[in-house]
Amino acid sequence: MNDTILRTKNLKTYFYTTRGVVKAVNGVNFNLSRGECLCLVGESGCGKSVTALSLLRLLDSPPARIVDGQVSFGDIDLVKCSTRQLRQIRGKDIAMVFQEAQSALNPVLSIGNQIIEQVELHERISQREARARALALLEEMGIPSAERVIDTYPHLLSGGMKQRAMIAMSLSCNPQILIADEPTTAVDVTIQAQILEIFRNLRARKQMSFIFITHDLAIVNEIGDRAVVMYGGRDVETAPVSRIIKNPRHPYTRGLIACLPNMSRSEKRLESIPGNTPNPIELPPGCPFHPRCPKAMDICRRKVPSPTIVAEGHAVSCHLYAS
Amino acid sequence: MKYRTAGTSTSIRAGGRLAGYYWQRTRRNKLAIAGLAFIIFLIFLALFGPFFTMDPTEVNFDEKNLPPIGFSIEKSIYDINTDEFTTTIIRGTWKHPLGTDNKGRDLLAMIVSGARISLLVGLIATGMAIILGTIIGVLSAYSGGWVDNALMRFTDIMMTFPFFLLLVLIVFIFGHSLIFIVLAIGLTGWTGTARLIRSESLSLRTREFVTAARAIGASDRRVIFRHLIPNVMSLIIVITTLSIPGVIMAEAALSFIGLGDPTWTSWGIILSAGQHTLDTAWWIAVGPGIMLFLTVLAFNFLGDGLRDAFDPKSKI
């Protein structure tokens, strides 16, 4: 797959706070191919969401600043392009679905008006056409009595409905890339299954690329083509999902996989990775995972590992595999 | 998976327009409704009253210091020829139901035209202050950084500056003109609003829908005017209702100490004219005094009611 649509290179986003510099994203690299679903996986605080927000420069500056790196969308560098150009890309070429529809929908605008607003920002289209499109999208998302929902306000809808409305909104301009930031985390499991079903349908029907952010490896397994495992603001392992699940190489990924409950084995306790995620103000020197790593070596404390290709399409940043 | 219809959630009508919901909540507060009724009455009085009353500037010394209807005063006149006091009893007449002042002007007409001035000053000056305060507050919160700092320090300076002294200064420089009084009150009264709106917007700004609005390609101006300001609208409405009485009082106070615009009969001007004759012709000061009192009370009741209605934590 050489048809890359989005490429990040050494992306670094730091937050400048009074307590110090928070290195939330500290060198992230990945490619997104056309029609692919790329999952960003990692624990809370590993920089997944900040990465997603950095792609469209949505973080408030100050305190956040993208200090280094590139985000290439076609021949545009999203880190350096003008705000004007960026505004035209946001919502039109690259759309975003947020974690909590509850807070990501404006409480004082009706569902329909929020979808129509996005359409009108990017296309010369009459109010009636925009409304018709909003209605069609809501129906497509499986919202019952969409012609009534379109004029209601977010607080009247259930969590699942809000999430659907937000997905409808993100699709309103037929984006090439959809960034979904934990879209199933704030809803219960039945809704989660339905939302995933929507994403799977979208994948089947539309030529769209997805960046799917989650901490749930089960979701990755269900929906992803490739996965980027993140730790301490870096990508530590990138591979096709089947390889990540069956043949993880990085000790951290192995830890994550080991944490999954396994029905075939009968264990008393679930595995866990000892220790906590590193403090992003004082990242450990060398590999950020070394204090928790069962296989830590001397070099891990001194040198940040660079990615090694261990198989086709499978890169690991770990000294264990350095040639 | 069922769409929760409007009927299932209490008192929210189908369609769920928030205005309707807040009206339902406000309606349960009797005092607020009484306040609203009085304000509506006052607006009608100010709009149409002057067409039905006499000319408030018409001077008639034959009928000066007439008491209101139902009251009487004894009037003693010293006769230089007989060297005697002749005492007559003067009763209020239907021609001047609220009596007359010391120049024989009809007090009812004065109070009705005073309502026009007081409301006009209250609404225009408050409107100016609220618009300024909202824009400065939202801009400050949304921009953050040095813009926020600069705007808030400017607000601090405006706040510490003695408001009344400034008014006196403006009137002294530009003269007793109603326009300058309105401008002075409007241009100094926005500071509290700016702070309240800023703090509310600061918490709103961290909500995801602001980021979401930017993620769909909205410009900063669009985020501020379409997404932030509509969300602080409830606060704006409450601040407006609660600050109108303050502005009306400020105008009355200015007039009372003689800095008002003498070409317009505002309540403050009638009050200040009546204070010298409080022992002989008490009705001159009492009429506008009661009106001021009721107006301020009505706006405060309504404002309190609205604040309770808009507050999601209050159970009414």
Interval B99-112 mean pLDDT = 80
Please answer yes or no on whether B211 and A58 come within 8 Å at the CB atom: yes
Share of chain B above pLDDT 90, in %: 16
Interval B233-245 mean pLDDT = 86
- Band (B285; pLDDT cuts 50, 70, 90): confident
ipTM over 0.90: no
Peptide bond into A63 cis (omega under 30): yes
Give the pLDDT score at B155: 92
- Band (B11; pLDDT cuts 50, 70, 90): very low
Query: Which chain B residues contact residue A121 at CB under 8 A?
Result: 216-218, 222
**Residue B71: is its pLDDT beyond 90?**
no
Instruction: Report the distance separating Cα B268 and Cα B246, nearest Å.
Output: 13
The answer to whether the CB of B208 falls within 8 A of the CB of B146 is no
Give the pLDDT score at A267: 65
The answer to whether the CB of A143 falls within 8 A of the CB of A165 is yes
The answer to whether the CB of A288 falls within 8 A of the CB of A231 is yes
- Band (B313; pLDDT cuts 50, 70, 90): low
Asked if B147 is an interface residue toward chain A (Cβ–Cβ < 8 A), one would say no
Q: How many CB pairs under 8 A join A and B?
A: 97
Give the pLDDT score at B3: 41
Nearest 5°: CA angle at A117, between A111 and A123?
135
Residue of B nearest to A154 (CA): B16
A interface test, pick of B209, B227, B231, B232 with most A CB neighbours within 10 Å: B209
Give the pLDDT score at B315: 62
User: How much is the pTM?
Assistant: 0.78
Please answer yes or no on whether B4 and A155 come within 8 Å at the CB atom: no
- What is the bridge-based pairing of β-strands A308-311 and A314-316? antiparallel
10-residue block means of pLDDT along chain A (323 residues)? Answer: 82 89 88 90 87 89 84 88 90 89 86 90 89 90 87 86 90 90 84 88 86 90 91 90 89 86 70 80 85 86 87 88 76
User: Measured between CA atoms, how close is B213 to chain A, in angstroms?
Assistant: 8
Report which residue type is found at B277: T
Give the pLDDT score at B312: 66
Asked if B312 is an interface residue toward chain A (Cβ–Cβ < 8 A), one would say no
DSSP sequence for B98-112? T-B-TT--BHHHHHH
**Residue B120: is its pLDDT beyond 80?**
yes
Locate tokens 């659907």: which residue?
Answer: A164
- Per-residue pLDDT of B141-194, as tens digits, reads 988 888 999 999 999 998 888 877 877 788 788 877 888 888 888 888 899 899
Helix (H, G, I), strand (E, B) or coil at B78: strand
Nearest to B9 among A60, A108, A156 (CB): A156
The β-bridge partners of A198 are none
**Residue B105: is its pLDDT beyond 50?**
yes
Give the pLDDT score at B241: 86
Candidates B232, B243, B8, B234; CA nearest to B135 is: B232
**Residue B10: is its pLDDT beyond 50?**
no
Give the pLDDT score at B8: 36
B:218-237 residues touching chain A, CB 8 A cutoff:
218-219, 222, 226-227, 230-231, 233
Asked if B176 is an interface residue toward chain A (Cβ–Cβ < 8 A), one would say no
Instruction: Report the distance separating Cα A69 and Cα A50, nearest Å.
Output: 14
User: Measured between CA atoms, how close is B137 to chain A, in angstroms?
Assistant: 18
Q: What is the DSSP letter of B226?
A: I
The answer to whether the CB of A217 falls within 8 A of the CB of A255 is no
Cβ burial A53-63 (10 Å sphere, 16+ → b, else e): bbbbbbbbeee
Query: Which chain A residues contact residue B3 at CB under 8 A?
Result: 143-145, 148-149, 157-158, 161
Residue B114 in tokens: 């005073």
Instruction: Report the distance separating Cα A199 and Cα A191, nearest Å.
Output: 12
Please answer yes or no on whether A90 and B216 come within 8 Å at the CB atom: yes
Instruction: Report the distance separating Cα A296 and Cα A275, nearest Å.
Output: 14
Residue of A nearest to B16 (CA): A152
Query: Which chain A residues contact residue B16 at CB under 8 A?
Result: 152-153, 155-156
Give the pLDDT score at A140: 87
Please answer yes or no on whether A155 and B209 come within 8 Å at the CB atom: no
Measured from the Cβ of residue A150, the count of other Cβ atoms closer than 10 Å reads 22
**Residue B138: is its pLDDT beyond 90?**
yes
**Residue B5: is its pLDDT beyond 60?**
no
- What is the bridge-based pairing of β-strands A94-97 and A314-316? unpaired
Nearest to B217 among A90, A108, A190 (CB): A90
